[in-house]
Structure 1
Amino acid sequence: MKIILRKVHCFLYAASVGLTYAICLPFLYLLSRNTRNYKYMNAIRRAWGFVSSILVGIVYNFKYEKAIDWSRTYIICPNHTSNLDITAMTLLVKNNNHCFMGKEELLNSFVTRLFFKTVDIPVNRESKMSSYRAFKRASEVLANGTSVIIFPEGKIADDYPPRLQEFKNGPFRLAIELKVPIIPVTSVNTWKILWDSGVQHGSKPGICNIFVHEPVETAQLTLDDADDLRDKVYGIIKQKFE
């Protein structure tokens, strides 16, 4: 009975996401015609994520190790166990001046296609050329003052319960090259509310606890420090998650 209720809740959540997105779509489409409107697209995405979650009893609780100065530009590195992590990150960045780097397959999804054709950065991690183009674009948007959200694990792993997977080097080399601080973010329990897409284990109402760590500065680092930076951020998130 429990799994049936979780599957029903997951269906309701998917319906909530789809229906609220359909309401937002005409406005998003009009805004997407001009890059100057991307902040407004993020504002709508933020509201859409909040409303679609709250309608099925999912809320987000953020705790901060230190207050974040959102006038600065960051690379935001969260762990990734749930589709809810994406909504959590849109709610985290208060100034709406951000974009995601995500897997190329998101170009084929009804609710993410428009964003990944405009605001966000698709990447095929199996292709060196695609990765090069994606990180080149990321460096350009960072240089223009837009924060970039990158899940350093690269994907939601198949392990259940989830374990923190190895981090890719890309975000950390990029942070050092541009002297941009990294914000480690630990998604503590979103997988308990909805793991991955919810297809296997369903979902349930609840509070997603998100811990925002103090930014890690990179101004004094060189590319030789990239592995150490990666390991430092991994350790910060791992300690809180596990």
Structure 2
Amino acid sequence: MKVLYYIYQICIALPIILVITLLTALITIAGCTLGSAHFWGYHPGRIWSRLICFFLLIRVTVHGRENIKGKTSYVFVANHQGSFDIFLIYGYLGRNFKWMMKKGIRKIPFVGKACEEAGHIFVDRSGPKKVMETIRKAKTSLTEGTSVVVFPEGARCFTGHMGYFKKGAFQLADDLQLAVVPLTIDGSFDILPRTGKWIQRHNMILTIHQPILPKGKGIKNVQDTLQESYITIESSIPDKYKGMVLNPDQD
């Protein structure tokens, strides 16, 4: 069965995915240029993500959508198992949001331009001033119920285990006194690990946990929210992936 799936990937699924990726990027760029980035910056990407999972025969399950309210801005934080985290969250979270993503994505042909036009936030860690600019842009995005999604590990894992969390997302939530919503991603690592070359069929599960409301303002609230988010996210991943493993390129 694996061999047949690999043949299907190469001959059918991947060519289709390349075409719909290009079309989605072009539609996003045109829509954001001529219309509303709030709409065109989200919905084409949501459909694109669902189509990718569909054509790769990946089943998705979502738990906890009832935990988040409509027209409310949140800071969503998730573990970063692999590339398919993007499709899982974009396609199935069910909320209009902006990504906080590595600035290197801007260099990807068409996709980088689409992300820029959509208003996604490129994280530049080259210096304190650049980090502050990133935070300021994130703050301006959190309007009209739009949220942000952050991978606080900053990089995909190598083993399926979580690395340590950086405080940027939690500092942003503290500054704006927004609730942090932990998201647990399960199954993405089994589909395509960071060092993998072939996509494997595996179910993905997205668990949307209860929002963590601010319990004050300042460094203690940041640290407490970070720690609670970490524990909450880890609680819904399989036992074989529990326990922190330091990721060598998180910095």
- 1:155 is aligned to 2:155: yes
- Alpha-carbon shift at residue 201 of structure 1 (Å): 4.2
Whole-Å separation in 2 of the counterparts to 1:128 and 1:5: 50
**Cα distance in structure 2, aligned partners of 1:17 and 1:132:** 36
Letter in 2 for 1:136: R
For the structure 1 residues 66 and 94, does the alpha-carbon distance in structure 2 shift closer, same or farther, using more than 3 Å as the test?
Answer: closer
Instruction: State the match for 1:211 in structure 2.
Output: 207
| Separation of aligned partners in 2, 1:152 and 1:232 | 13
What is the match of residue 99 of structure 1? 98
1:223 has 2:222 as partner:
no
Offset, 1:31: 1.0
Q: Match of 1:180?
A: 178
The secondary structure found in structure 1 opposite 2:162 is coil
Q: Which residue of 2 aligns with 1:125?
A: 125
Provide the secondary structure at the position in 1 that maps to 2:207: strand
- What amino acid sits opposite 1:217 in the alignment? L
**Number of matched pairs:** 235
Q: 1:169 aligns with which of 163, 167, 170?
A: 167
CA contact (8 A) 1:10 1:204 kept: no
Distance 1:131 1:163 in 2: 27
Distance 2:212 2:137 in 1: 22
Structure 1 outlier segments of 4+, above 4 Å:
4-14
TM-score, length-normalised on structure 1?
0.87
| Structure 2: runs of 5+ lacking an equivalent | 243-251
Q: Which shows bigger deviation, 32-41 or 81-90?
A: 32-41
Query: Which whole-Å CA distance do the structure 1 matches of 2:9 and 2:127 have between them?
Result: 33
Larger relative contact order (Cα-Cα within 8 Å, sequence gap ≥ 6): 1
Residue 70 to residue 15, structure 1, CA distance change in 2 (3 Å): farther
Pairwise CA RMSD: 2.4
What is the rounded CA distance, in whole Å, between the counterparts of 1:34 and 1:90 in structure 2? 23
Quick check: 2:48–2:91 contact (8 Å CA) kept in 1?
Answer: no
Distance in 1 (alpha carbons) for counterparts of 2:84 and 2:110: 14
Give the match for residue 234 of structure 1: 230
Q: 1:67 to 1:227 in 2, by over 3 A?
A: closer
Give the aligned partner of residue 32 of structure 1.
32
Match of 1:194 among 192, 195, 208: 192
**1:39 and 1:167, CA in 2 relative to 1: closer, same or farther beyond 3 A?**
same
**Structure 1: runs of 5 or more not aligned:** none
Which amino acid in the other structure matches residue 78 of structure 2?
P
TM norm structure 2: 0.84
Identical residues among aligned pairs (%): 19
User: C-alpha separation between the residues in 2 aligned to 1:232 and 1:30?
Assistant: 41
